[in-house]
Amino acid sequence: MPKTQDRTSMARNIQYLVILAIAAVTTYGWNKYTYSDKSKDEIVKEENLIIAPKNYEVPRYRTNQPPEQILNRFSYTTSYNKTTKTPNWVGWVLTADHTDGEYARKGHSFIEDSDVSLPRALYTGQAEIPVHLLKFES
């Protein structure tokens, strides 16, 4: 067999091996998340995510993470930044039940969230209150 055919044959074999390796890795990764005996919650916990109530997912901890205090609430989870006194992020699921549910807001006031570490931001006058940073009290 001439050397040209040997090289062509070897190159084709390498291509087949690369394709086979990609297929194996793709199949393994796909099966890990779709055909597992484990529940979604168990898989997510394996990925080092924090599971908040109602399966709201919280981002993975990073080494360059800003200072935070995680607050888990009935309808949302937030990472409160103690330095800036504002949230790093807020996670929630908005459904029709949330927009037209049993939790009427009219006539209810917002109060300071005592679970947030001191010192907290101080707001005076209703026009200055960022209500998304305050705990809803029914």
Q: Per residue, what are the HEC states of 43-104?
A: HHHHCCCEECHHHCEECCCCCCCCCCEEEECCCCEEEEECCCCEEEEEECCCCHHHHCCCCC
pLDDT of res. 96:
66
Q: What is the domain extent for residue 9?
A: 3-35
Q: Are residues 51 and 11 in the same domain?
A: no
Cα within 13 Å of Cα(69), Cβ side: 17
pLDDT of res. 3:
62
pLDDT of res. 99:
63
Q: Are residues 73 and 104 in the same domain?
A: yes
pLDDT of res. 46:
46
Q: Are residues 13 and 63 in the same domain?
A: no
Q: Are residues 57 and 101 in the same domain?
A: yes
Q: How many domains does the chain have?
A: 2
Residue 40 lies in a domain: no
Q: Are residues 23 and 85 in the same domain?
A: no
Residue 41 lies in a domain: no
Q: Are residues 52 and 89 in the same domain?
A: yes
Residue 8 lies in a domain: yes
pLDDT of res. 91:
80
pLDDT, tens only, 77-103: 888 888 888 888 888 777 666 566 565
pLDDT, tens only, 32-77: 444 445 555 554 444 444 444 555 555 665 667 777 888 887 777 8
Main-chain phi, psi angles of 43, to 5 degrees: -65, -45
